[in-house]
Homo-oligomer: A and B are copies of this chain.
């Protein structure tokens, strides 16, 4: 099996891109990544996307984007794992290069959400949950997370404001990221008084929807030096799954798939949580931040929120998370998010994170979540 590295990264700002179609959006990230890598061709393209069928009436994104990018003919296919689609596409690209079947691979995550902001978007997002046993009963995606958060607060005696640190950290970090959607720090008071969405989740517990695309170029590590002096090695790539429906899990407050995929990643990379300098986790809602920290081994069960209260998730803390703003403040273009996380981790490891730079970042972990924890894709990257 060949070792794999990232030789190029690209991204669009996250926001409302009324002037760009889905294919244009993907192209902007992809072209930036190819220019960054100095490559003019590729052997394959793997596209992470969740909602193009529902929102844009367009499936079949592999050839659509390959052709539009001037890469007509290459292997190109879409990978879908709900909000975990982006990192899943990188995982498939990793396999393609590792196998020896492809040498230069593009992985792009793209989502165009703001063309549709009504019930169709809510029902589209609910497709990540179990259609027969969850969505059919009226549970939207935020409602599912609200049930989890309420249960967490009850079981572990946690107040709502104990989650404030997650939102405040993400917003503070996003201020330094030119591609982030919300670049304003928020106060504890703002968090406590934000409009309620689905009790106990309020507006500032929730990540915003947005349009966006991010891309990485992969090649065998042994060939990376031919393209760039700043390759980032993929030390581990792991995917694990859980039941779609939360009620089918033994413990609804434990992200088993997050634990499984993190453990597989630690094994592959030969490291543990203490060796990770920064962690791009999937803070779609603040509760997910707490659950991810616990499942990935950074906190005891029921204690993930404490890291936020203590400021340990901030730059300079023991495990900085969402260093470029996370889903909460960079924005969450669902099928693209997993690739954004990996691009941002690569920025940190290349020392190109600007005002968001974590000093001496040598090893970063990313964790992309699909559904309420049913698909979890973990990567560990090394400078």
Contact = CB atoms under 8 A, between A and B. Distances in A.
Given A53-B53, A95-B96, A99-B95, A242 B59 contact: no
A237 to B, nearest CB: 8
Interface in A238-296: 238-244, 248, 256-257, 260
Contacts of A54: 53-54
Contact of A241 (B62, B240, B243, B248): B62
Contacts of A50: 59
Contacts of A98: 99-101
Contacts of A240: 73-75
Given A100-B1, A241-B67, A242-B67, A60 B80 contact: yes
A1 to B, nearest CB: 4
Contact of A95 (B95, B124, B127): B95
A87 to B, nearest CB: 10
What's the interface size class on A, roughly?
Answer: 35 or more
A124 B59 CA distance: 9
Contacts of A74: 240-241
A54 B370 CA distance: 19
Contacts of A129: 60
A164 interface: no
A126 B57 CA distance: 8
A367 to B, nearest CB: 15
Given A240-B75, A242-B72, A60 B374 contact: yes
